[in-house]
Amino acid sequence: MTALKRLVNSTATYALANVINSAIPFLLLPVLTRVLAPAEYGMVAMFTTVITVFSAFTGLSLHGAVSVRYFNAETKHPRFVGTCLAVLSCSTALVLGVVWVFGGFLSDLVGLPRAWLLLAVVGSSFQALINIRLVMWQVKGVATRYGVFQILQTLFNLGVSLWLVVCIEMSWEGRGVGILVALFVFGILAVFSLFWGGLASRCVDGEYAWASLRFGVPLIPHSIGGMMTAISDRFILAALIGIGATGSYVVGAQVGMVVGLLADAFNKAFGPYLLRELQKLGGKADLALARQCIMVFFGFLLLSCMFVFCAPIIYKIFIGLEYYESLMVAQLIGFGNSFLGMYYVISGFIFYSERTGLLSKLTLICGLLNLGMTYLFVLVFGAVGAAIGYCIIQAVFFFGALRLCQMVCPIPWGGAFVSLLGKRSA
């Protein structure tokens, strides 16, 4: 099977898995939006946001280190993965201690009880375990198992959530418990699968621990900056407009993530392919690879334009009138996610160079810029302003990453673009 055919097949498999994985909660969204009021949906959104925030400190991007190291022939991979699991245990214990001490302050800040904050820390740790298991399937090109595992987790998550919310009438807490139970169960399955498959060792290597920290710790600002861009809008909306507006906005953001999910599916297939190609080329991008990237960029732009056109139809069929005001939010976020997809492609070059500190600086700067921009736009335009800020900052982030990429791994964009035009003219 040729490299291009493998790429196409893997992309199709990941896309199908992402579509099914997203379709399940998307099709059940009308149920949840009719059972939960916007304020209750806002509490769910805040809980999932907190899990994402804690993931930056517990997970330490260890799955990224595992992914990059997989292509290093000198690394003893089972020992490296086992060491990463040990590092994860230590980071989780540390974050739990911090949240326990400052729980009162954090609870007032985000509007969640201390107990839910501690559960969110543990949940973020189990999510890191799942990410490591998934990335091992990804680098090995086993897209089917990757997709099946994700889909089963989502089905289990929403099955438990619906039973607790609809049958037991637990309100937003039932949705939160459903999320946590799914993380715990599938996190345990992930660890068992790693050890049973011989992909993780019980031996801990000090050198590998340091290597994983050297890769992951500089990415903490990157994760924080990314979260500022991705989820700070929830906090700003809750503070300026109210948690009800946050719930409505999150529904629009979920719909807009259709483009992001398709971009993510492509990246899961293209990422390992890119790392293999860079390994062959000695870390340099040739004309053919540059042409492929440009074609991907145009593909993402076309996809986002199609989504903007189809979004009103999606709302009329699937989303209730109570949330129709978030249509423009969905369209803006969908278009912004085309730039996110382009960034995914560029980030592969930067991760290959292991110059993660540069990426962290860029992400942190964009995150801080997004905070100010979102705050100002929400004051002027309301909830739609947060989506406008998201769209603009994703474009800024992509072009900034493109600049960094040229510093660490120069790409012949000009020659590739001219050759593409020449082929089309011919």
DSSP 402-420: HHHHHHHS---HHHHHHHH
Is 178 exposed, middle or buried (CB count within 10 Å of its CB: 0-12, 13-18, 19+)?
Answer: buried
Q: Do 266 and 213 have their domain in common?
A: no
Query: Is residue 240 one of the residues assigned to a domain?
Result: yes
201 with 237, same domain?
no
pLDDT on residue 116:
93
Domain final position from 160, 184, 217: 217
HSE toward the beta carbon, residue 257, CA cutoff 13 A:
18
- 209 and 233: one domain? no
Tell me what pLDDT residue 422 has.
66
- Domain, as residue range, for 104: 36-217
Q: Residue 193: which pLDDT band, with cuts at 50, 70 and 90? A: very high
- pLDDT cut 90: percent of the chain above it: 28
**The last residue of a domain, from among 200, 217, 234:** 217
> How many angstroms separate the CA atoms of 253 and 327, rounded?
9
299 and 209 part of one domain: no
The residue among 337 and 251 whose pLDDT is bigger is 337
For 29, 116, 167, 244, 323, the CA distances from 34, given in Å and listed in that order, are 8, 24, 14, 14, 10
Same domain, 268 and 407: yes
Q: Does residue 352 sit within a domain?
A: yes
pLDDT at residue 185 is higher than 90:
yes
Same domain membership, residue 195 and residue 323: no
Least trusted range by pLDDT, from 8-22, 92-106, 131-145, 335-349: 8-22
- Residue 6: per-residue pLDDT: 65
Most confident among 52-66, 113-127, 269-283 (mean pLDDT): 113-127
Q: 6 in a domain, yes or no? A: no
Instruction: Work out how many domains the chain is built from and give that number.
Output: 2
Give residue-wise pLDDT tens across range 284-329: 667 888 888 889 899 999 999 999 898 888 777 766 666 677 889 9
Task: Look at residue 425 and tell me if it is in a domain.
Answer: no
In-domain check, residue 345: yes
Rounded to an integer, what distance in angstroms lies between the CA atom of residue 120 and that of residue 114? Answer: 10
Higher pLDDT, 17 or 249: 249
| Stronger pLDDT, 12 or 48, i.e. the higher one | 48
Residues in the chain: 426
Kindly indicate the confidence band of residue 129, based on its pLDDT and cuts at 50, 70 and 90: very high
Residues 170 and 285 in one domain: no
The HSE-up count of residue 368 (CA atoms within 13 Å, CB side) is 7
| Top-confidence residue, 282 or 395 | 395
Identify whether 1 is part of a domain: no
Residue 117 has pLDDT above 80, yes or no: yes
pTM over 0.85: no
Please indicate, yes or no, whether residues 388 and 264 belong to a single structural domain of this protein.
Answer: yes
Q: Binning pLDDT at 50, 70 and 90, where does residue 136 land? A: very high
Same domain, yes or no, for 294 and 176?
no
pLDDT mean over 154-166: 87
The answer to whether position 13 is within a domain reads no
Supply the pLDDT for residue 423.
60
Q: Is the pLDDT of residue 424 over 60?
A: no
242: left (phi over 0), alpha (psi -120 to 50) or beta: left
**Based on the domain organization, do 203 and 325 belong to the same domain?**
no
Q: Rounded CA gap, 240 and 227, in Å?
A: 19
With 60 as the cut, is the pLDDT of residue 230 above it?
A: yes
| Calpha distance 340→344 (Å, rounded) | 6
Residue 172 has pLDDT above 70, yes or no: yes
Q: How many CA atoms lie within 13 A of 261 on its CB side?
A: 20
Helices (H), 102-218: 103-110, 114-140, 143-162, 172-196, 206-216
Residue 360 domain-assigned (yes or no): yes
**Boundary (domain end) residue, out of 167, 187, 217:** 217
Tell whether the model's pLDDT for residue 32 goes beyond 90: no
pLDDT in tens, 320-372: 666 677 889 999 999 999 999 999 888 888 877 767 677 778 888 888 888 88
Are residues 203 and 251 located together in one domain of the fold? no
Collect all residues with Cβ–Cβ distance below 8 Å to 152 and sequence separation of at least 6. 186
Same domain, yes or no, for 345 and 240? yes
- pLDDT of res. 138: 83
Contacts of 356 (CB under 8 A, 6+ apart): 215, 218, 219, 222, 350
